[in-house]
Amino acid sequence: MSDLLAIIGGTGLTSLETLEITRKEMVSTPYGEPSGPITHGVLAGHPVVFLARHGYGHTIPPHQINYRANLWALKHIGVERIIAVAAVGGITARMGPGVLAFPDQIIDYTYSRHNTFFEGDLTHVTHIDFTWPYDAGLREKLIAGARAAGLQAIEDGTYAATQGPRLETAAEVLRLERDGCDVVGMTGMPEAALARELGIAYASCAVVANWAAGKGEGEITMEQIDQCLKLGMEQVRTLLRVVIPMV
CATH number of the structural domain spanning residue 139: 3.40.50.1580
CA-based radius of gyration for the chain: 17
72 is in an annotated binding site: no
66 is in an annotated binding site: no
Indicate the SS3 state at residue 33: coil
- pLDDT for res 78: 96
Residue 63 CB neighbour total at 10 angstroms? 16
211 is in an annotated binding site: yes
What pTM was estimated for this model as a whole? 0.93
- pLDDT for res 14: 53
- pLDDT for res 222: 75
Angstrom CA distances, 208 to 1, 31, 65, stand at 34, 31, 21
- pLDDT for res 1: 45
Length of the chain counted residue by residue: 247
186 is in an annotated binding site: yes
Residue ranges in the chain modelled with pLDDT below 50: 1
212 is in an annotated binding site: yes
Q: In 144-182, where do the E strands start and end?
A: 153-154, 158-161
Residue 146 CB neighbour total at 10 angstroms? 23
How many domains does the chain fold into?
1
Q: Are 102 and 143 in contact (CB under 8 A)?
A: yes
- pLDDT for res 175: 98
29 is in an annotated binding site: no
Domain coverage including residue 31: 4-118+125-246
**Residue 236 main-chain phi, psi, to 5 deg:** -60, -45
pLDDT in tens, 43-81: 888 899 999 999 988 899 999 999 999 999 999 999 999
**Residue 138 main-chain phi, psi, to 5 deg:** -70, -35
